[in-house]
Amino acid sequence: MSTFRTGIIIFAVTTVLYAANLFQFAESVLSDLRFNFIRSDPPASLVIVAIDPKSIAEIGVWPWPRRMHAAVLTKLIDAGAARVAFDIDFSSASTPENDLALEQALARSGDKAILPVFKQLTREADGSHRLITTVPLARFQGRAALASINVRPDSDGKVRRINRITEVGGRILPTLSAALANEPVSLNAIAFDVDYGIRSENIERISFVNVLTGRVDPAFVAGKKFIIGATAVELGDQLSVPLHRAMPGVMVQALAYASLARDRALQPLPLLVTIALILALSLLVVPRFATLSWKPGLMIAVTGSIAIFGISFAISAAAPVFMEIVPLIIVLIAGYGASLVVQIDAQKIRLFVSSMALQRQMAIADVILETSGHATVTINHDGKIDIFNPAAEEMFGAAAKDVAGQPFENLFVHDEGKYRGDFLNPGLMVFDLGKPRDLEAVRKDGTHIFVEIIAKPVNHIPSTDPLEKRKNVRTTYVCTLIDVTKRKELELLEYTARIQAQSANKAKSTFLANMSHELRTPLNAILGFSQFVLSEKSGSLNPQQKEYIGHISSSGDHLLSLINDVLDISRIESDRFELHKEVLDAELLITNSRRFVEQRATANRVKLSSEIDPEAANAWGDERAVTQVLVNLLGNAVKFTPPGGKINIKVSCGENGDTKIMVSDTGRGIHPDEIATVMEPFGQASKVNGETIEGTGLGLTLARQLVEMHDGSLTLESRYGVGTDVTIYLPQPEMPIEGVSVVH
C-alpha cells in the first residue's frame, strides 16, 4: 500500500470517528488538563451570597421564610448592587405575608432582580417520569427578569458546556450567566465551555446571614453583581465539574458568568479547521513514517503529540478557544502504527528472501565442498575443526565426524615444538595468511605426507543490534590443502642431482685450476723453443722450415690464450680467483688495454678512439682483472669489425655513481636470437657468408664473471648489421679509502 493511500485512509477513518463524537471522552480528559496550567482571576464585580452552614445555623430554621430573601434583596439593592440573581426555587406558594414581602421587594428592585427558571424530571403516580418546566409564581414573574439555570452534563457526568439561551414554554430566555453579563437574547447565541481555570477560590463570598443582619458594608455592595444560592453541602446542590470534582450549582453559575465577563467563554476551533489539520497531518506527516525506522518514528509520534498538546495550551492561553487535539494525536499514532505494520511486513519479506538466499548459498557451498578436489578445512576461533570435506577425509584417511571439534594442529607434525605457535592461541596462523606454505602432516594410519596449505581469515564483526552480546571480532579460518608429497620427492631428487652436478663441476674446476702449472710448463717450453729456433741463433732456416715453426709458435700462443681463459674461469668457479682492489687511473687503464689490440686493429684498418669524463678519472677494482675484461671486449670488437670500422672506449659516471665503461664498435652486430648464446661459456654467433671466426667463446663469459666478482654488471646491446655496445659498471667502494693513491 502506498504511503499516500495510507494517509488518505487514516484521514477518512479519523474524520468519521471525530464527526461521530467518539473522541469526546478522551478530548474532555485532555481539555480538563489545560485548566491546571491556564489560570486566571474572576471579575472583581462578582459576589456570591452563600446559603452556607453558618447562615443555616444562625437563622435556625429551614426552609427560610421568603421575607428573609426579600430583606436580603432589598438591602443589596438599597446599597447599590448592580444586579441580584437568585439560584433559588420560587415556583411554589408560601405564606401570603412572605410572598407579599418578596413581591414588594422585587417590585422595588425594578429590572435588577433575576429569578430562576429550570426544567426538571417529576415522578408520576404510575411510576413514569415527566420533564416539567419550573418557573417562579406568576406574581413574581412580572416583577423581575427570568433566566434559565439548567445545565446539562457531558457523557462523563461533568458539567462543561453552558447555553446562552433556552426555550421555556415557547419563550426564549437567557441563561443566568448571559443575563448577568447583559448579553442580548439572540437565536444565534451559541453555547460555550466554562473556563474552570478561573480561580473559583478568588470569587468574593459573603454569608446570607451577614447580609440579612446588616453586617456587610454598603460600600462593598455598590456596583457589584450578586448571585444568591446554596453552597452548603447538606443542601445537595452539587455538580460534577472538571478540576474541582464537585462544586455547588451557584458556583458553576458564577464561573459561567466569569467566563463571559473575562472573555473566556471557550469555543472549539471551527470544524473545518480541525478537519483541515487532520488532513494536513495525514498527508504530510504519515508518509514520513514510512521512511523512518521504528525509533525515529516513535520519537516523531511522541514529540508530535506533545507539540500538539503544547500548541493547544498556547492557543487556549491566548484566546477563548480550545483546540480538539485527540483526532490529531490519533492520526500520529495511527500513522506510526501503520508504518510499523508495513515495516514488519517488509522485514518478514526481507527475512524470507534472506533465508532463501542463505539456504541457496549453503546448498551451493555444500556441493562445492563435496565435489572439490582440494581438501578444505575450516577452523573456528578456538582453533577447532568445523568443516572437513570429503577431499580432506581422503587426504588424511579420517572421517569428518572423528576430527570435528579436534585441534587443527593435531593434523601436523610438531615434534619438540617444531610447529608450535603456527596454529592456535596465541597467534593462529602466524605465517602469512593467504600465501601457500608447505607443512608435514600425519595421516590417521601414521604415514607422513607433505601438504601445501593456504589459510584465509573470515572475520565475524559484532553486530550493532542490542541483542548482540559479543564485543570482540571472531575469526574463522578457511584452509585449502593440497597433497604435494610427490612434488617434494621430485624436488629432493632435483636437489640431489643439482648438488651432485655442482660437486662435479667444482671438482672439474678444481682439477683444471690445479693443472695450470702442468699445462703451462710444457706449453711455455714449446713456445720458447719455437721462438728460439725462429731467431736462427742456432742456425739458419729455409723458408719452409720458418713457415712450419711459425705455425707452431702461433698455434702455441692461441693454445696458451685458450688455456689461460679456461683456467681463469675454473679458478673463478672454484673460488680460487682472488681480487686485489685498488684505485685505478682510468686513462692508464684504457691505454694499457689498447696496447694489446692496437697492432691487430692497425692491420685490420680499424680505428681505435677513447674518451674519458674527468668526473670518472678513477675506477675501483683489480687492475689485472679489469684490464683482462677490457682486452677481451676490445679483442672481440676488433675481431668482428670490418676494415674501415671504428671502435670507441668511453669512460663516464653511472647514475648511481658507478664507473661506466662502454666499448662500442661498428661491426657486424649480433642477431637478437643469439645474444643469450654469446653470453654463455663457449657460445659463439653464427658464421656470416661462411667466414671463419677465431676464438673459443669464453671472452664474454670470462669478462662477465670478472665484472660480477667486482659486484658490478655487464650488459650487451647489439644492432644486427650495425654494431655492438658492451657496457660494464664498476661500483665505488662502500667506504672512502684513505691513504690510497692511484696506481700508475
CATH topology of domain 580-730: Heat Shock Protein 90 (3.30.565)
Residue 738's pLDDT band (cuts 50, 70, 90)? very low
Residue 52 to residue 59: CA distance in whole angstroms: 11
Q: For 657, which DSSP code?
A: S
Question: Which three cell numbers mark 35?
Answer: 485548566
Residue 173 half-sphere exposure toward CB, CA atoms < 13 A: 24
Give the C-alpha separation, 427 to 439, whole Å: 17
Q: Which grid cell is 237? A: 446542590
* Domains 373-483 and 580-730 are alike in CATH topology: no
Q: What is the pLDDT of residue 196?
A: 94
Q: Which string of DSSP letters, residue by residue, matches 531-546?
A: HHHHTTSS----HHHH
- From CA 461, how far away is CA 464, in angstroms rounded? 9
Say what the pLDDT of residue 70 is: 95
Q: What is the dihedral of CA 736, 737, 738, 739, to 10 degrees?
A: -160
Residue 333 pLDDT class (50, 70, 90 cuts): very high
Are 201 and 251 contacting, i.e. CB atoms less than 8 angstroms apart? no
Q: What is the pLDDT averaged over residues 715-734?
A: 84
Residues comprising the chain, all counted: 744
- Between 426 and 526, the more confident residue is 526
CATH superfamily, domain at 373-483: PAS domain (3.30.450.20)
DSSP class of 526: H
Can you say whether the dihedral through the CA atoms of 15, 20, 21, 26 is positive or negative?
negative
Collapsed DSSP state (helix, strand, coil) of residue 160 = coil
The answer, yes or no, to whether the previous bond of 643 is cis (omega within 30 of 0) is: no
- Domain residue ranges in the chain: 3-22+270-347, 41-263, 373-483, 492-570, 580-730
Query: Residue 551's closest CA among 567, 531, 523, 581?
Result: 531
| Beta strand residue intervals within 334-400, DSSP E | 375-379, 385-388
List all residues 6 or more positions away from 348 whose beta carbon is below 8 Å from its beta carbon.
none
**Max Cα-Cα span within the chain:** 201
Among the listed residues 563, 566, 570, 569, the one whose alpha carbon sits nearest the alpha carbon of residue 509: 570
Q: Which of the 8 DSSP states describes residue 226? A: E
Q: Residue 619 belongs to what H/E stretch?
A: strand 618-622
Q: Which of 326-340, 423-437, 587-601 has the highest mean pLDDT?
A: 326-340
Of 375, 408, 369, which is closest to residue 484 (Cα–Cα)? Answer: 375
pTM over 0.75: no
- Tell me the residue type at 551: H
State how far the Cα of 617 lies from the Cα of 717, in Å rounded to an integer: 25
The count of other CB atoms within 10 Å of the CB of residue 184 is 8
| pLDDT of amino acid 491 | 81
CB neighbour list of residue 248: distance below 8 Å, 6 or more residues apart:
229, 230, 231, 237, 238, 239
pLDDT of residue 740: 42
Q: What fold, for 492-570?
A: Helix Hairpins (1.10.287)
pLDDT tens, residue by residue, 440-457:
888 888 888 888 888 888
β-pairing, 171-174 vs 165-168, is antiparallel
pLDDT tens by residue, 351-395: 888 888 878 887 787 777 777 778 888 888 777 888 888 888 888
Least confident of 12-26, 57-71, 538-552, 590-604: 538-552
| Cβ neighbour number for residue 257 with a 10 Å cutoff | 29
Q: How far apart are CA 711 and CA 472, in angstroms?
A: 53
For 270, counting Cβ atoms within 10 Å of its Cβ (0-12 exposed, 13-18 middle, 19+ buried), the class is exposed
Q: Which of 8-17, 255-264, 687-696 has the lowest mean pLDDT?
A: 687-696
Tally the C-alpha atoms within 13 A of residue 556's C-alpha that lie toward its C-beta.
Answer: 19
Question: Which grid cell sits at 63?
Answer: 426552609
Residues of the chain above pLDDT 70, percent = 84
SS3 content of the chain, % helix, strand, coil (to 5): 45, 20, 30
CB contact set of 695 (below 8 Å; sequence gap of 6+): 636, 639, 684
**Cα–chain-centroid distance for residue 593?**
73
Q: Quick one: cell of 698?
A: 669464453
